[in-house]
Structure 1
Amino acid sequence: MSRFVRSSKYRHVYGTCAKRDFCYDNLRVSANAWDTNLVKVNPLFLSVNWQASGGGAFAVVPLSNVGKLPENYPLYRGHTAPVLDTDFNPFNDYVVASGSEDTKIMIWTIPETYDEDLEFVAPVSKLSGHGRKVGQVLFHPVAENVLASSSADLTIKLWDIEKGQEKQEITGHTEIIQSLAWNYNGSLLATTCRDKRLRIFDVRSNKIVQEGPGHQGIKGSRVVWLGDTDRLATTGFSKMSDRQLYLWDANDLAKPLKTEFIDTSSGILMPFYDADTKMLYISGKGDGNIRYYEYENDAFFFLSEYKSGESQRGMGFLPKRSVNVSECEVARAYKVGNTLIEPISFTVPRRSDAFQSDIYPPAIGDEPALTADEWFEGKDANPKTIDLEAGFTVKEKKEFAPSAPVEESKTPETASPKNEKDYQNAYHELRKENEDLKGTLSQRDVKIRVLELEIEKLQQQIAEAKLTKEDPKPNGSAEEATKAESEEKESNDDE
């Protein structure tokens, strides 16, 4: 029997971890249990959720700033509860959004230089509207300044961050939303949910286009779109806690097209898809390895696996436009440990030093194809692409000036804690203020109930008075008639 080996340009892709000197050390990564990737990366910076006392914070580290971070590294403070997720604006590398347990979303601009005098970075905009903690924030892949956020209040909101306005609210989930994913042109949004359902939304009209049963395990599930196709991939668990990979047709979510058994483990799987190479990278929380597959003809073909003895808590991938094409790098991952973030470079071995056009098709660039107003009006467009042969250069900082800046950012120094004691005092003050607000609300609820009872009593009295006013008329006329008859009878008797 003859054996055929499927040909692939990426069969021998291998991952290489950077040396310790080129990693990011001395980090205090957040210990919050909310399921996010903990890190996001763009061509200039990486952001990581920070373990901070007295409120919420995250750090933004320039990619060139490798090595051990100083103890007093400047943090992005402003949230009053732990930061759960961050995301960089794909069309402005100096703008980052954050979501927190305090129900707020904040927009920040990143300074071009970090010096010793920089102690505090203030938000330029604050978005309020969610009723509970904000678990994910995700920028639109095509339209400028459009942000999606999901919350434990079971809603997804769409924001125009430049105007500081909520433009749309998406409803339809019955449990906490676990992951979000835009399709290639940003016209649809796929979600996984704790109710074990996979949904696809037309977000501008708040309609569920497709819905079907997802992974049936109780642990977290994730979803990604497979480039410009109408296919999706999800990772999750079976009822027996087997880790699974599903392939879906976006036009019919009744059942998956393909199912793949990964292994039996407890760590949540994080999928990342590279549309240029058609490779799917899957890393598990608590694992030390990264599996990668090639997608072709509605099937996933296992290529290889990066193995490490150090487990990962989170993972982020660099945008394709900024990989090192001179070394045939097709992807770069940033692996989060307890105090360390390690870059892992995935390369295709080639002997020639020339540009390899077969593994570097035009990549998604940093120019928006639509404005926020155009997209909300109903227009669609594919992302603008760039040719990597000429090389990608980061543009100069583009100023971001929201029309509704946050007032608190004018005087952040007066409220910024300086040490652990200040953080504890600030925490207790905020807690006391929260308790006072709860007491005020409960008192108002009591007053409202008393007023409602009084209104009901008045309405009842008015109704009784109305009945009393209507009833005497026939009774009175009868009494008058009886009196008239008796008088007439008496007069007759006298005669």
Structure 2
Amino acid sequence: MSRRVVRQSKFRHVFGQPVKADQMYEDIRVSKVTWDSSFCAVNPKFVAIIVESGGGGAFIVLPLAKTGRVDKNHPLVTGHTAPVLDIDWCPHNDNVIASASEDTTVMVWQIPDYVPVRNLTEPVVTLEGHSKRVGIIAWHPTARNVLLSAGSDNLVMLWNVGTGEMLLALPDVHADLIYNVAWNRNGSLLVTTCKDKKVRVIDPRKRQVVAENFEEPIALQEMDTSNGVLLPFYDPDSSIVYLCGKGDSSIRYFEITDEAPYVHYLSTYSSKEPQRGMGFMPKRGLDVSKCEIARFFKLHERKCEPIVMTVPRKSDLFQDDLYPDTPGPEPALEADEWLAGKDAEPILISLRDGYVPVKNRELKVVRKNILDNKPPPGPRRSQSSSDANLSRSALEEVLEEIRALKETVRAQEKRISDLENKLCQFANGTD
């Protein structure tokens, strides 16, 4: 008689459930652009959604607490002259978001903590360098103000948002359209998938491919049979990968381990309505008091529906095994340090007492001034006597005008004083 052995895992009973109807976001015109991005980005403060917009591209930003029906006149973030294709919140500043567009530009925006009265139309900085539409953006996980963009020109670019400069470009790495890009945990390497059916691990600072199309997979797992585009979300703290299919109505989740067969199916969350996009909350934005290990923001045609993934526990105490220290909002490196070759692991924070988002921190862009450059060596042009005479006469004219204005002011002050004295006499009945 054989006995089936059940694999032990603390995530074996993870289950998903939607929030109540009054905690959803309704009347949102989700973008109908046929692009394979998630159309949604979330952080502990806001949810941002790419929406339909006439005459250009736009996305809407809503505070997490502002649920229910969204006012049709709610301000949008506009500025692109063509549809927005991708958005991504900065991991080191919850008020900064980047957007990529068909207009070949990347824009970085400062979102205020309050709801603005008008549309936001002026980005903090515009990054220009791509020759075709830009469909992918991804912030560096540990270095401040480093942003990656990938476009239909098969080009990957890295930018220093703090100066508005391009740090480096990878022009000869991809022969076809880039499908997706992701950083490793400390941002020393990035991986890309491409239409040429190749997966590449790239060292961007050396501008070289470290590995390409591995010979044989460690494990082969059929995860989804639908025809829609899969949106994968990986949680390194729990080693769970969530697969959300565009046009599908389910979320499948798998646990990745170092034991064969390495990929272990956990469960599937299903709903009635198909999803048009999906946002994934960072770990610091979860409710640890309810043993919440993931939260999704599922986009439908006219609404955004949060879905909570929970591990059932009887105790109300903080569950250390579910919440190891996780990357916080402070960067570990400056952009120049990373570009010079330095690497650093993310600065971790504890979620034991919950996470409280920090107040609005302004993104300052300091562009290099060409006037800071030293002048070329050589004799300076001497000023001619005619220039000197002209400057002297102009100065004397200005000084004379100032003297005349001072006399006029003094005369007016005397007149005002006399009038005030007469007014007092009338009021006292002495005149």
TM-score with structure 1 setting the length:
0.72
What's 2:158 paired with? Answer: 158
Counterparts of 1:327 and 1:390 in 2: how far apart (Å)?
13
Task: Structure 2: state its 5+ residue gaps.
Answer: 369-431
What's 1:340 paired with? Answer: 303
| Residue 302 (structure 1) aligned with residue 303 (structure 2) | no
Q: Any conservation in 2 of the 1:83–1:100 contact (CA below 8 Å)? A: yes
Instruction: Give matches, 1:30-41, under 5 Å.
Output: 30-41=31-42
What's 1:359 paired with? Answer: 322
Counterparts of 1:82 and 1:260 in 2: how far apart (Å)?
36
Bigger radius of gyration? 1
Counterparts of 2:122 and 2:159 in 1: how far apart (Å)?
20
Per the TM alignment, residue 2 of structure 1 is displaced from its structure 2 partner at its CA by 2.3
| Residue 81 (structure 1) aligned with residue 48 (structure 2) | no
Root-mean-square deviation (Å): 1.2
Say which SS state the counterpart of residue 21 (structure 1) adopts. helix
In the alignment, which of 191, 198, 221 is matched to residue 260 of structure 1? 221
Instruction: Give matches, 1:98-247, under 5 Å.
Output: 98-115=99-116, 117-171=117-171, 172-212=173-213
Say which SS state the counterpart of residue 135 (structure 1) adopts. strand
Per the TM alignment, residue 286 of structure 1 is displaced from its structure 2 partner at its CA by 1.0
Which residue identity lines up with residue 6 of structure 1 in the other structure? R
Counterparts of 2:66 and 2:216 in 1: how far apart (Å)?
47
Instruction: Give matches, 1:309-388, under 5 Å.
Output: 309-388=272-351
Which residue identity lines up with residue 368 of structure 1 in the other structure? P
In the alignment, which of 221, 235, 242 is matched to residue 281 of structure 1? 242
**Deviation sequence 1:251-305 (CA, Å, 0-9, x none):** xx22221111124321111111111111111111111111111111251111111
Say which SS state the counterpart of residue 264 (structure 1) adopts. coil
Q: Any conservation in 2 of the 1:125–1:404 contact (CA below 8 Å)? A: no
Q: Any conservation in 2 of the 1:82–1:100 contact (CA below 8 Å)? A: yes
What count of residue pairs does the alignment treat as equivalent?
364
Per the TM alignment, residue 170 of structure 1 is displaced from its structure 2 partner at its CA by 1.1
Counterparts of 2:235 and 2:226 in 1: how far apart (Å)?
25
Counterparts of 1:119 and 1:105 in 2: how far apart (Å)?
18
Per the TM alignment, residue 350 of structure 1 is displaced from its structure 2 partner at its CA by 0.5
Q: Any conservation in 2 of the 1:28–1:50 contact (CA below 8 Å)? A: yes
Identical amino acids, percent of aligned pairs: 46
Which residue identity lines up with residue 370 of structure 1 in the other structure? L
- Runs ≥4 residues deviating over 4 A: none
Relative to its length, the structure with more helix (as a share) is 1
What's 1:219 paired with? Answer: none
In the alignment, which of 250, 254, 258 is matched to residue 293 of structure 1? 254
In the alignment, which of 353, 356, 365 is matched to residue 390 of structure 1? 353
In the alignment, which of 344, 360, 366 is matched to residue 403 of structure 1? 366
Counterparts of 1:121 and 1:155 in 2: how far apart (Å)?
27
What's 2:429 paired with? Answer: none
Say which SS state the counterpart of residue 168 (structure 1) adopts. strand
Per the TM alignment, residue 321 of structure 1 is displaced from its structure 2 partner at its CA by 0.9
Task: Structure 1: state its 5+ residue gaps.
Answer: 213-252, 406-495
Per the TM alignment, residue 121 of structure 1 is displaced from its structure 2 partner at its CA by 4.0
